[in-house]
A = this chain, B = another copy of it.
């Protein structure tokens, strides 16, 4: 499917009008940034960029799309002809996937003619606002879980095609598995899952259900033990599977209490290696509250796929520079109340001291302050003249990079309580 109509009507009318005024071919730079982090958050995590580049490569107008635009008089004949040949031929730079960002970090720069760069605005923002919101929330959950594995299982709580994108974003920041099969097929993310309450209720008894599951999936499977009575179910699970049962899953109740009881019961029954998986509307806060409990893995649904209260990252796409009549690039910016932003194409570095991030420096000029001895360039090239660049675009590279970037943050970045961004953004 073409991605060309996954966009707003006004992108097309702007192109149409700019072609009329003769300004459409002015070389332009758009930047993606957030004016602020979601309320109280200490850091955000960039995600979705490689997925976006895939979509931009598919962004062309076929007969069906052109017919729609023509039938509905969205644009005129001249623009229709131009759209028929449209291929993005510009340059895209941005923060790596898995990189940390702060207010005004220029996480993506799209450079090209006004018309070609304007046209992809909606798609750029849809992909990045969604995936970045999920990754930012998921990263906090990973930090809360302190090394315990996290399984993304929120497909049912987000739209069917957002689900696999959400699974990717969660995996990118350290979730270990997803329940979503499409995410497995597309991205090679390990998938996982065993049974729901319906499976137990289908059978004439819980014991019959447990036997059926073990006969099919082996004794290393995870049995769901809270359909009727947890204590009796755990006893039954071990009696059916033996002490080498892989795991039990608990999806209800007062988890700190239940988890401890189940652990003690499993140990009494000799099932000392049987793991406990919990899955009941968890988020970064409830995960933190369970860290003192003997939980072996967390399954997270609604809160991760909906960005834990912040389902969109608030990223905007702003024209910061464009050619004038003489061919020079000039900085531009609006001055609306509360929505002003610095014009001009930015550079960005993270200033580091003794391995710890000190601040984010966003510059329209060329040079760092001479006192700065250690800093890390944040912008890398994704596309050049319409060609995708061949650096390591794998998900595993992004996971690695996230580990590296997060290790540079000061300790207060990981406080769950609402606060200010972990480091300041200095714009000059």
Contacts and interface: CB of A to CB of B under 8 A. Distances in A.
Nearest to A1: B1
A14 B251 CA distance: 17
Nearest to A228: B335
Given A55-B160, A306-B312, A216 B339 contact: no
A381 interface: no
Interface stretch (A240-248, A316-324, A408-416): A316-324
Interface stretch (A186-194, A287-295, A383-391): A186-194
29 contacts: A6-B181, A8-B156, A8-B180, A9-B180, A10-B194, A12-B181, A13-B193, A16-B217, A17-B195, A17-B217, A21-B203, A28-B202, A30-B198, A114-B198, A121-B196, A125-B156, A126-B160, A129-B156, A130-B159, A158-B162, A158-B312, A197-B318, A197-B319, A197-B334, A202-B332, A228-B334, A251-B336, A251-B339, A302-B312
Given A65-B185, A197-B334, A202-B28, A212 B6 contact: no
Contact of A160 (B6, B192, B336): B6
Contacts of A185: 5, 64-65, 68
A424 interface: no
Interface in A180-229: 180-182, 184-185, 191-204, 208-209, 211-213, 215-217, 226-229
A347 interface: no
Given A68-B181, A199-B18, A126 B114 contact: no
Given A8-B155, A127-B159, 9 more contacts: A6-B160, A8-B153, A9-B184, A17-B199, A20-B215, A126-B158, A126-B163, A159-B165, A228-B335
Q: Interface residues of A toward B: which range? A: 35 or more
A295 to B, nearest CB: 18
Contacts of A10: 179, 193-196
A175 interface: no
Contacts of A14: 194-196, 198-199
A375 interface: no
B334 A253 contact: no
A372 interface: no
Contacts of A16: 216-217
Interface in A251-266: 251-254
The 9 A-B pairs at the shortest CB distance, nearest first, are namely: A10-B193, A21-B212, A9-B193, A161-B161, A125-B156, A130-B159, A252-B336, A198-B319, A17-B216
A176 interface: no
B319 A253 contact: no
A333 to B, nearest CB: 7
Interface string A303-345: 0011000011010011100101100000011111111000000
B181 A5 contact: yes
A352 interface: no
